[in-house]
Amino acid sequence: MVVLKRLSKAYVRGGTLVTALREVDLEIKEGDFCAFVGPSGCGKSTLLNLVAGLDQPTSGEIILDGRSTVGFSNAEWTAMRRETIGIVFQAFHLVPALTAEENVALPLLLRGEGRRDVMKRVDEMLELVGMRPRRSHRPGELSGGEQQRVAIARALAHRPRLLLADEPTGNLDSHQGAAIMTLLKTLAMAGRQTVLLVTHSRHAAQTADYVWTMQDGRLVARAERVEEAVS
Amino acid sequence: MTVVSFLTVLRLILAAQVFQRPLRTGLTVIGVALGVSASVAVRTANVDVLRSFEQAVLTVAGPTTLEISGGELGLDEQIMTAIRQVPGVRSSSPVILQTAVITRGDRQETVQVLGLDLLAEVESRGFHLRQAADRRLEAMLDPNTILLGKGVASEWGVSVGETIDLQVGPGLTTCRIVGLLEDATDRTALWSRLAVMDIAAAQVTFGMVGRLDRIDLVTEKDRDVEEVAQALRAIVPPTVTVERPSSRTAQVDHMMRAFRLNVTVLSWVGLLVGMFLIYNTMAFAVAQRRREIGIYRAIGMTQARVAGLFLSEAAALGLAGGLLGSAAGFLLASELVKLLSRTISDLYVPVGVGNGLALEPDWLWRLAAEGIFVGCAVSMIGSVGPSMNAARTAPVRALAPGDYEVGQRLRVGALGMGGFILLVIAGVLSTADPVDGVPVPGYASTLCLLAGLSCIAPVCVTGWRRGIRQPGLQSTMGGIMRAIAIDHAARNPGRNGVSISALMVGLSIMIGVLVMIKSFRNTVEVWVSETVMADVIVAPSLWLRGTEAGSTGRSLPGSWSEVLSSIPGVAEVDTYRDVRVTVQGRRAAIVSRDLRIHARMSRYWVRHGDSAGRLVHAADIDGVLISEILADQLGIREGDSLELVTPEGARRFPIVAVFYDYATDGGKVLMDRRLYQSLWRDDLVTVFPVYLDKGADLDLVRERMATRLSEVGGRLPPLLISNAELRKEVLEIFDRTFLLTYVLEAIAVVIAMLGIVNTLVTSVLERRREFATLRAIGAGERQIGQLVLWEATYLGLIGIGLGLVGGGALAVLLIEVINKQSFGWTIHMIVPLGGILQAVGLAAAATLTAGYFPSRWAGRQSIVEGLREE
Q: DSSP letters along A176-226, please?
A: HHHHHHHHHHHHHHHHT-EEEEE-S-HHHHHTSSEEEEEETTEEEEEESSH
Q: What pLDDT, on the 0 to 100 scale, is given for residue B599?
A: 93
Report CB contact under 8 Å: A93, B776: yes
Q: Which residue pairs from A128-133 have beta carbons closer than 8 angstroms and sit at least 24 positions apart in sequence?
A: A128/A153, A128/A187, A129/A153, A129/A183, A129/A187, A131/A100
How far is Cα B190 from Cα B149, in angstroms, rounded to an integer?
8
Task: Give the per-residue pLDDT at B406.
Answer: 42
Judge whether A89 is closer than 8 Å to chain B, CB to CB.
yes
Residue of A nearest to B775 (CA): A78
In a domain, B275, yes or no: yes
Assess if residue B234 is contained within a domain: yes
Of the pLDDT bands very low, low, confident and very high (cuts 50, 70, 90), residue B408 is very low
User: b vs e for B158-169, b when ≥16 Cβ sit within 10 Å of the residue's Cβ?
Assistant: bebeeebbbbbb
Give the 3-state secondary structure of residue B401. coil
- Verify that B179 and B263 share a domain, yes or no: no
Same-domain status, B616 and B674: yes
Q: Which residue of B has its CA nearest to A86?
A: B777
- Percentage of residues in chain B with pLDDT exceeding 70? 89
Distance CA B628, CA B637 (A): 9
- Using a CB–CB cutoff of 8 Å, tell me whether B403 touches chain A: yes
CB contact under 8 A, A96 and B403: yes
Looking at the fold, whether B605 and B643 belong to one and the same domain comes out as: yes
Residue B794 pLDDT class (50, 70, 90 cuts): confident
Q: B289-303, pLDDT tens digit by residue?
A: 777 888 878 777 788
Classify B13 as helix, strand or coil: helix
User: CB under 8 Å to B522, separation ≥6 — which residues?
Assistant: B828, B830
Of B695, B722, B749, which closes a domain?
B722
Could you give the number of structural domains in chain B?
4
Residue B663 forms part of a structural domain = yes
Is A155–B777 a contact, with Cβ atoms under 8 angstroms apart? Answer: yes
Residue B834: domain span: 421-533+723-870
Residue B84 has pLDDT above 80, yes or no: yes
Instruction: With respect to residue B576, please indicate whether it lies within any of the assigned structural domains.
Output: yes
* Side chain identity, residue B494: G
Looking at the partner chain, which of B483, B862, B864 has a beta carbon nearest the beta carbon of A98? Answer: B483
Count other C-beta atoms under 10 Å from residue A220's C-beta. Answer: 12
Nearest to B589 by CA among B71, B56, B112, B222: B71
Shared domain for B523 and B580, answered yes or no, is: no
> Each residue of A61-107: pLDDT tens digit?
999 988 999 989 888 998 999 889 999 988 888 888 788 998 898 88
pLDDT at B426: 95
Q: CA geometry: angle at B531 spanning B529 and B533, to 5°?
A: 70
Query: What is the C-alpha separation between B821 and B439, in angstroms, rounded?
Result: 6
Strands A67-68 and A59-64, sheet pairing? antiparallel
Q: Say if residue B660's pLDDT is above 50.
A: yes
Pairwise CA distance, residues B786 & B796, whole Å: 15
User: Are the CB atoms for B785 and B858 separated by under 8 Å?
Assistant: yes
Mean pLDDT of B105-125: 78
Question: What gap in Å lies between CA A211 and CA A33, rounded to an integer?
Answer: 9
What is the reported pLDDT for B763?
A: 72
Chain A residues with CB-CB distance to B480 below 8 A: 98, 102, 105-106, 109-110
Residues B565 and B681 in one domain: yes
Please return the burial class of B300, using the count of CB atoms within 10 Å of its CB with bins 0-12, 13-18 and 19+.
exposed
Q: In this structure, are B79 and B187 located in the same domain?
A: yes
Quote the CA–CA distance of B843 and B749 in Å, as a whole number. Answer: 8
The residue in chain B having the minimum alpha-carbon distance to the alpha carbon of residue A152 is B777
Whether B416 is covered by a domain: the verdict is: no
Cα separation, B333 vs B340, whole angstroms: 10
Three-state SS at A5: strand
Tell me the average pLDDT across B344-373: 76
> Is B732 in the A-facing interface, judged by CB distances under 8 Å?
no
Indicate left, alpha or beta for A43 from its phi (over 0: left) and psi (-120 to 50: alpha): left
Q: Where are the alpha helices (DSSP H) in B63-117?
A: 79-84
Does residue B414 lie in a domain region? no
What is the rounded distance in angstroms from the CA atom of residue A82 to the CA atom of residue A224? Answer: 31
Chain mean position to CA B406: 46
Smallest CA-to-CA distance from A87 within B46, B778, B457 is with B778
- Other C-beta atoms closer than 10 Å to the C-beta of A59 total 12
Last residue of a domain, one of B662, B695, B722: B722
Residue B824 lies in a domain: yes
Mutate to test the interface with B, among A18, A44, A80, A81 (most CBs of B within 10 A): A81
**Whether B524 and B589 share a structural domain:** no
CB neighbours (10 Å) of residue B272? 22
State which of B6-15, B616-625, B628-637 shows the largest mean pLDDT: B616-625
Q: Do B477 and A118 touch (CB under 8 A)?
A: yes
Cα(A176)–Cα(A169) distance, integer angstroms: 8
Give the distance from residue B485's alpha carbon to the nearest chain A alpha carbon, in angstroms: 9
Among A111, A115, A154, beta carbon nearest to B477: A115
Q: Report pLDDT for B464.
A: 59
Q: Is A96 on the interface with B (CB under 8 A)?
A: yes
Per-residue pLDDT tens digits for B439-468: 899 999 999 999 999 999 998 888 755 555
Inform me whether the C-beta atom of residue B487 falls under 8 Å from chain A C-beta atoms.
yes
- For residue A24, name the pLDDT band (cuts at 50, 70, 90): very high
Q: Nearest C-alpha of chain B: how many angstroms from A49? A: 7
| Chain-chain contact of A93 with B480 (C-beta, under 8 angstroms) | no
B769, B778, B862 member nearest A78 (Cβ): B778
Residues B218 and B74 in one domain: yes
Domains within chain A, CATH numbers bracketed: 2-64+73-230 (3.40.50.300)
- CA gap A79, A76 in Å, rounded: 5
Contact A139, B769 (CB under 8 A): no
Tell me, yes or no, whether B578 and B680 share the same domain: yes
C-alpha dist (Å) from residue B406 to A1, A3, B298, B400: 44, 45, 19, 11
> Closest by alpha carbon to B538, among B719, B698, B692?
B719
For residue B246, the number of C-alpha atoms closer than 13 Å in the C-beta half-sphere is 3
Of A54, A94, A158, Cβ closest to residue B863: A54
Phi then psi for residue B87, to 5 deg, are: -60, 135
Is the residue at B76 inside a domain? yes
Residues B671 and B728 in one domain: no
pLDDT in tens, B483-540: 788 877 887 787 788 888 888 888 898 899 889 889 989 998 898 888 888 999 998 8
Tell me the one-letter amino acid at B625: L
Report CB contact under 8 Å: B472, A101: yes
State the Cα–Cα distance between residues B36 and B17, nearest whole angstrom: 23
Q: Do B773 and A95 touch (CB under 8 A)?
A: yes
Q: Which of A74, A97, A118 sits opposite B491 (nearest CB)?
A: A97
**Mean pLDDT for the stretch of residues B20-42:** 83
Q: Does the beta-carbon distance from A97 to B487 stay under 8 Å?
A: yes
Is B144 in a helix, a strand, or coil?
coil
Residue A6's alpha-carbon distances to A9, A61, A64, in angstroms, are 10, 7, 15
Task: Return the pLDDT at B407.
Answer: 40
- Domain boundary pick from B371, B389, B409: B409
Phi/psi of residue A25, each to 5°? -115, 130
Average pLDDT over residues B609-615: 93
Report chain A's mean pLDDT, rounded to a whole number.
Answer: 88
Mean pLDDT of chain B: 83
Task: Indicate whether B512 and B544 sit together in one domain.
Answer: no
Whether residues B128 and B163 fall in one domain: yes
Per-residue pLDDT of B37-67, as tens digits, reads: 888 888 888 888 777 777 777 777 778 889 8
Please compute the mean of the pLDDT values over residues A39-59 and round it to a whole number.
90
Per-residue pLDDT, averaged over B344-359, amounts to: 65
